[in-house]
Structure 1
């Protein structure tokens, strides 16, 4: 699906154009990350943008039993079988740790040890992603603008800054061929108490300071992890007190869960484009005044890339297209 939207005809500058590829909520899936990098080359984009939630959610202990055998979720496998399983885990976004019996027993009783195993897996995966990106894009000079989402621990900022190909800086304004891009990864409170959540009034205060640095809102790109409230981008299942989806008449009940502060900032400043994620099941685009807002959705655990190709020309959004593959 390709949609064409025009802003002010008199503001068009045909000498300024930009091709962007945006994705979000990869959650440690190697397959999705590799597809995204390759798609950037195929579509000949000027920049890649990742909207946050790059860290995975699950770590699987693998017990080394010796004699070329391993216990994986109560199933005994050989090393060759394990290698195949590890490839599947990487595709799904599942971290793993190979432990001796003693290490497993100690970690199973020690929350701090579990946290350290998780941190090690997250950092090692991100280091591998950096290497993949640098190798595959070295001849293309395509920058990757990236931000952390609500599921990402803050220490990942330091890891990302180790690579020049990743452009990271929450709240900083980056110039991109005359366009200004800013990122922000905190979300309004969720039932899961994730790493990066804030009250709406705090989000609004943060964003007010951030967007005040922008010189020209008509060519501004907001890479904000949470989608704006009450749009096609923020529909999620309504949950009961046990965090289970509410079903009525055999259908799951949906509700709007996006950020009211992000919507308010967009209404007030009227940027050219809003790029959002966070709500995996709510792929879509919408308009807030003249601002186009997009959420590509996510099916990371299936190894499917959800992305959006956006073509900008002057103060126009010339076209945008969802990509699934």
Structure 2
């Protein structure tokens, strides 16, 4: 994990801070654009993305010559190509244009496929960086950007070079007197995603960081995994084949959050916990005095799920879900 660093405070006292938080955009340019627009409309002071920026799928578009392309078993022209690329960007799907030889290479060479995935992930994130610069031009707004469990670490290379996207994992960020601790790793999942840790590892790494904050009760925990056993971590129970368990015609739900994160929020009682990871579990809850929120995600249909939060005088004055 490396050393945790502490940013210089922006203020010696806490004041009124308006936060717009979203998470689990998974490559959806439409959801990202809506988030930036909502930040401007709500006049937020701080924009935060809680992780999982990367998309999950890559579809090859085959160039068959003479301005024609084959995709999803259909032959289309240039105009159709523009439309399908727009659709893919909106829903978070990556695409690559290849000839027949290139398609064979991707199907038969895992290294080539991995390299192409890396290329399109970085390309999409660089496009988002340009969009953020354009949308937020003339403002002082920064987008505190975390990676989640589905995000490869090389994405930090783009974020670290950006003027608008700010890497916050590994930092203690001071926002007008409120300190923010950020952590993108999650407890083990059935899918063995890139950034998972055991509960003991999560507890150890996070506790080391939290102990560096000055006032835990004025701290924001920006942690991708939600705490276990709350309204924020309900997901379908899966069988051995990873299919949802159905009983009496209904999907059986279970808690899948992190016990370590729950324990740390119980111990340190931060002001606010902002979480994601479990798309279907949009909710707020409390652990002791700590308000915890998961805005949920429907990135696949280009829908923005976000939460508008106002902190005032060391309290969560208000919080509201934004969907659109």
Q: TM-score, normalised by structure 2?
A: 0.95
Distance 1:238 1:318 in 2: 35
Q: CA deviation at 1:280?
A: 0.2
> Deviations for 1:113-133, whole angstroms, at most 9, x for unmatched residues?
111111000000000000000
Distance 2:216 2:240 in 1: 41
The 1:148/1:14 distance shift into structure 2, 3 A limit, reads closer
The 1:93/1:268 distance shift into structure 2, 3 A limit, reads same
Kindly report the root-mean-square deviation, in angstroms, between the aligned alpha carbons of the 2 structures: 1.2
Tell me which residue corresponds to 2:9.
none
SS in 1 for 2:171: coil
Distance 2:105 2:24 in 1: 32
Q: CA deviation at 1:219?
A: 1.3
Q: Are 1:209 and 2:190 an aligned pair?
A: no
Distance 2:13 2:200 in 1: 39
User: Would you say the 8 A contact 2:14–2:176 is kept in 1?
Assistant: no
Deviates more, 1:166-175 or 1:266-275: 166-175
Residue correspondence of structure 1 range 157-172 to structure 2 within 5 A: 157-172=156-171
Q: CA deviation at 1:14?
A: 10
Tell me which residue corresponds to 1:142.
141
> Deviations for 1:121-166, whole angstroms, at most 9, x for unmatched residues?
0000000000000111121211111110000001111111111222
Q: CA deviation at 1:275?
A: 0.3
Tell me which residue corresponds to 2:111.
112
User: Would you say the 8 A contact 1:14–1:313 is kept in 2?
Assistant: no
User: Would you say the 8 A contact 1:219–1:314 is kept in 2?
Assistant: no
SS in 2 for 1:293: strand
Distance 2:78 2:115 in 1: 25
Q: Are 1:174 and 2:163 an aligned pair?
A: no
Tell me which residue corresponds to 2:8.
none
Residue correspondence of structure 1 range 1-325 to structure 2 within 5 A: 16-325=15-324
SS in 2 for 1:173: strand
Q: CA deviation at 1:15?
A: 7.3
> Deviations for 1:187-232, whole angstroms, at most 9, x for unmatched residues?
0000000000010000000011110111011210010000000000
Distance 1:159 1:93 in 2: 18
Distance 2:13 2:112 in 1: 56
Q: CA deviation at 1:278?
A: 0.2
Distance 1:157 1:108 in 2: 28
User: Would you say the 8 A contact 1:68–1:79 is kept in 2?
Assistant: yes
User: Would you say the 8 A contact 1:41–1:140 is kept in 2?
Assistant: no
The 1:322/1:14 distance shift into structure 2, 3 A limit, reads farther
Distance 2:286 2:322 in 1: 20
Deviates more, 1:14-23 or 1:283-292: 14-23
Distance 1:198 1:241 in 2: 21
SS in 1 for 2:135: helix
> Deviations for 1:237-276, whole angstroms, at most 9, x for unmatched residues?
0000000000001000000000000011111111000000
> Deviations for 1:154-184, whole angstroms, at most 9, x for unmatched residues?
1111111111222213231011111101110
Distance 2:223 2:13 in 1: 27
Q: CA deviation at 1:84?
A: 0.4
User: Would you say the 8 A contact 1:29–1:94 is kept in 2?
Assistant: yes
SS in 1 for 2:62: strand
Unmatched segments (≥5 aa) in structure 2? 1-11
Distance 1:260 1:144 in 2: 29
